Chain A
Amino acid sequence: MKVGKAKADNRATWIRVAVLASAVGALEIACRVGWVPATMVIAPSAMVKALIETLQSDDIGAHLQQTLSAVAIAMGLSIVGGFLIGFVLHWVPFLRRAFNPFLAAYYAIPHFAFYPLLIVIFGLGPAPLIVLATLFAMVAMIVATMAGLDRVPRVLLKTARMHRLSLLEEIWRIRLPAAAPHLLSGVKLAVAYSFIGVIAGEFILSTSGIGHEIAYAYDNFDNPRMYALILFVLAIVTCFNMAVYAYERRLARRRGA
């Protein structure tokens, strides 16, 4: 039965690769033949070529560094902050009751409406972007932390009392490992949302960074550079997400979750 499932998984993977590959191939042909004008979409091979050229140019490094460091800081802040806040909300029922409706509505608010405000408060520069991305990503971590801690089975806590664990030991040795799968999906979301927050912010309002470079290339009808950078961002984000996903899968397989 397990073997059968693995085989089915494999088959789906192959079909998926084939579908994606033929989509790229079809686009390539459509562009080469001229069905799709180069002013709209350029051929995938041209995108890759442009990407290599762009990465070799000197000016891209600074933008890259700015974007990635902003993402890294936002990621760190949102994961740590989100965990701590989620933990406090889990332990203090009053706060939790009070904040629940806002947590539920949080992702309904278009955050970018508040972006100008952040610029006014934090000035132009990387700070408002980092704050924006952190605020955007943190709530996912808060919600995941609360969900994880809520779902720790009561019987495990009883077991902790049977072994007379102190509160800290109980948290460290029972609650956190039991909540780990939820925490990890929170981390996964925080990673994705940090990228989205930073790049979207750069795109709309910044004067530097990868997001801005894409918008700038669009404004200047520089399609090769634009597609190269889009491809680059999507590749980086997808790699990052896949790495987290793979780690999660490994953990889940072991725990049979």
Chain B
Amino acid sequence: MTAAAPRLAAVPSEAAPKVHARLDGVTRVYPPRAGHGEVHALGPISFDLRAGEFFSVVGPSGCGKSTLLDVLAGLAVPSAGSVEFEGKPVRGEVPDGVGVVFQEDASFPWLTVEDNVAFGLRRAGVDAAESRRRVDFAVGFMGLKDFRRAYPSQLSGGMRQRVCIARTLVMQPRLILLDEPFGALDQQTRLLMGDELLRLWRETSATVLLITHALDEANLLSDRIGVMSARPGRFIDIVETGWPRERDSRLAERPDFGAVTSRLWSYLRGESLRALGQGSAAR
């Protein structure tokens, strides 16, 4: 919590947006394996993630969105180019201050909700009182208060994903990376989770990068949206939405909302067709 205060002060200086993370000429090539040759999955990609912004990445399936997230998180090493987080190079290890929420259910089935959420704290050397405070907050914030002692198997998919978000939240990350976290949820739940995500973003003032395939979702949540091409994925364009910081799912009622989604789709229609063709050719 102490670390949050100075950042809150830093964000409003919008005149010269501070760079929080930087990708410079990043590519990722998978070595040839039995059955197929070398796969050029990603890049080259160069872009700056501004401190405190909500950035989404959309693109056709198989374009390397998840690879981009892995590289940025330090879960994968780029084949060429460099990644920086808060001015320091990222290479093969997740830097302190970065939290990741994955697409798949990553809750630990052998721990209660509470213990799941507290998982990283003991290791990070946070003392017991502070741990309890943060867990209480995260559990309350994600609406898990009544399920503290439940096991993940007793929860729905959406609730389990909240557990994973809470587990990331207690570590107070300054950069939150989300890899299609709502991919498995139904549309109504997605909308509600989106609102919660916006609230979380506003209240923690963290930088958020969201990978998604849902254009409306990207539009609704983001300050900027990076549109990726079919494999090897590169940014075709980065769209600025210009939405106010205080926003929620009712934004979709605005007349100019549809225009942004249309613009994203006009970029992606061709790319998605190309990706489909690649897919069937590969088979």
Direct touching of A and B (C-beta under 8 Å): yes
A-to-B contact residues, CB < 8 Å: 153, 155-156, 158-159, 161-165, 169, 174, 177-178, 180, 254-257
Which chain B positions have C-beta within 8 A of A174? 108
Contact (A163, B119) CB under 8 Å given A256-B152, A256-B153, A257-B153: yes
- Residues of the B chain whose Cβ atoms lie less than 8 Å from the Cβ of A163: 119-120, 123, 171
Residues of chain B within 8 A (CB-CB) of A162 are 73, 75, 94, 98-100, 168
Complex contact A158–B100 (CB within 8 A): yes
Residue of B nearest to A164 (CB): B94
Interchain CB contact (< 8 A) of B110 among A153, A159, A165, A177: A177
Interface residues of chain A: helix, strand, loop or mixed (majority): helix
A169-B123 in contact (CB<8A): yes
Q: Which residues of A contact B120 (CB under 8 A)?
A: 163
Q: B106 contacts A159, CB within 8 Å?
A: yes
Known: A255-B151, A256-B152. A161 touches B102 (CB 8 A): no
Interface size on B, residues (CB 8 A): 26
Count of inter-chain pairs, beta carbons less than 8 A:
56
Do A153 and B151 touch (CB < 8 A)?
Answer: no
| CA distance in complex: A169, B122 (Å) | 12
* Bound-complex Cα distance A156 to B100 (A): 12
A255 touches B153 (CB 8 A): yes
How many Å from the CB of B66 to the closest CB on chain A?
11
Residues of A with C-beta under 8 A to B106 = 153, 155-156, 158-159
Please judge, given known A-B contacts A155-B104, A256-B154, whether A178 and B93 are in contact too, CB under 8 Å: no
Are A165 and B123 within 8 A (Cβ)? yes
CA gap between A155 and B153 in the complex, in Å: 17
14 additional A-B pairs beyond A162-B75, A180-B110, A257-B153, beta carbons within 8 Å, are A155-B105, A156-B106, A158-B102, A159-B106, A161-B93, A162-B73, A163-B119, A164-B94, A174-B108, A254-B151, A255-B110, A256-B109, A256-B153, A257-B109
A256 and B153 CA atoms in complex are apart in Å by 5
**Pair A155/B123 contact, Cβ less than 8 Å:** no
Set of chain A residues within 8 Å of B119, measured between Cβ atoms: 163
- A210 and B102 alpha carbons, distance in the complex (Å): 56
Give, as a whole number of angstroms, the nearest-CB distance from B62 to chain A: 18
When A161-B94, A164-B94, A256-B153 are in contact, do A177 and B108 touch as well, CB less than 8 Å? yes
Determine the chain A residues whose CB is within 8 A of the CB of B94 once the complex forms: 161-162, 164
